[in-house]
Homo-oligomer: A and B are copies of this chain.
């Protein structure tokens, strides 16, 4: 089978590529071709013996989607997006990339179907940003999408498109509302939500991290490994079991910052915890208060999606996958 990953150079895209190569197949079908696309050239996957095509392209450019669909991939992962902060700063770019790019992809598939009956599986990375405060805890599966960012709006609109194109039979789509991915590997970045990862990742390697919010802040997390697991499961799940409601709030772990820190203490001791420096940032605190504290995710769990059940586990996944299993 042929798998197309749009947004392959991002963190989830890279880990998904590695996992697909390691598995060698999806649902007992061998993967013989991978097409990796991003606005920067994706890395060549190590150890893959099938055909690899790496493309630098912007889905929102005219003709890009048609070109990607021309080879009729069996499974399409659409992970490409500009992030929340950028979509808020650049209104036009956000709508162009996050909405028009997605629609161009869906349209290219629809028009391909008219030619030869093409009907791929489409897995779309949505976000918990589709909901907006005030929020209950836990947030039920049937809670409305009233985003408070342009990014969340673009994701919620794309979800609606995905469900309608799926209902009309143009493709078999699954929208995955990803929790905040924690512990995000790499260096601290400027994302307002970066501290959720920073306060664990940096102390685990003996470095200081800044905590800008009170320990009482509650948020919704899943490991990169779980995020990749969602992607694999979404590509093989029986869409008839899902029905017309194709956008699923993924399972995750609801935890306060204090609970994150206590898990760090259990795994890496006081020495690690003492590396967290408290520097309250009123702007980040205000933003945090609008973020999702956690979801019921009942449907996704019933459909077989799984995530971590403790922050200790999330930290151990990071130690295994990023630190070679050793502290």
Q: Residues on A close to B: CB < 8 A? A: 91, 110, 132, 141-148, 150, 153, 156-157, 160-161, 163-164, 167-168, 244-245
Question: Within the oligomer, what is the number of copies of this chain?
Answer: 2
Cβ A167 vs Cβ B143 within 8 A: no
Cβ A160 vs Cβ B148 within 8 A: no
What is the CB-to-nearest-CB distance from A43 to chain B, in angstroms, rounded to a whole number?
35
Cβ A144 vs Cβ B142 within 8 A: yes
Cβ B150 vs Cβ A164 within 8 A: yes
Contacts of A142 in B (CB 8 A): 143-144
Cβ A146 vs Cβ B91 within 8 A: no
Besides A91-B110, A153-B163, A156-B160, 18 more A-B contacts (Cβ < 8 Å) are A91-B168, A132-B244, A142-B143, A143-B144, A144-B144, A145-B160, A146-B163, A146-B245, A147-B164, A148-B167, A148-B244, A150-B168, A153-B160, A153-B161, A153-B164, A157-B160, A157-B161, A160-B160
Contacts of A163 in B (CB 8 A): 146-147, 153
Q: How far is the CA of A164 from the CA of B163 in the complex (A)?
A: 21
Contacts of A156 in B (CB 8 A): 160
Q: How far is the CA of A244 from the CA of B145 in the complex (A)?
A: 12
Q: How far is the CA of A153 from the CA of B143 in the complex (A)?
A: 17
What is the CB-to-nearest-CB distance from A128 to chain B, in angstroms, rounded to a whole number?
14
Contacts of A160 in B (CB 8 A): 145, 147, 153, 156-157, 160
Contacts of A153 in B (CB 8 A): 160-161, 163-164
Lowest 9 CB-CB distances: which A-B pairs, in order?
Answer: A153-B164, A157-B157, A142-B144, A146-B245, A144-B144, A153-B160, A157-B160, A156-B160, A150-B164
22 pairs, CB–CB < 8 Å, chain A vs chain B: A91-B110, A91-B168, A143-B144, A144-B144, A144-B145, A145-B145, A145-B160, A146-B163, A146-B244, A146-B245, A147-B160, A147-B164, A148-B244, A150-B164, A150-B168, A153-B160, A153-B161, A153-B164, A156-B160, A157-B160, A157-B161, A160-B160
Q: How far is the CA of A167 from the CA of B151 in the complex (A)?
A: 13
Q: How far is the CA of A164 from the CA of B130 in the complex (A)?
A: 12
Contacts of A145 in B (CB 8 A): 144-145, 160
Contacts of A244 in B (CB 8 A): 132, 146, 148
Which residue, A91, A110, A143, A146, has most C-beta atoms of chain B within 10 A?
A: A146
Q: How far is the CA of A164 from the CA of B155 in the complex (A)?
A: 12
Q: How far is the CA of A145 from the CA of B147 in the complex (A)?
A: 13
Contacts of A143 in B (CB 8 A): 142, 144
Q: How far is the CA of A143 from the CA of B140 in the complex (A)?
A: 10
Q: How far is the CA of A163 from the CA of B145 in the complex (A)?
A: 11
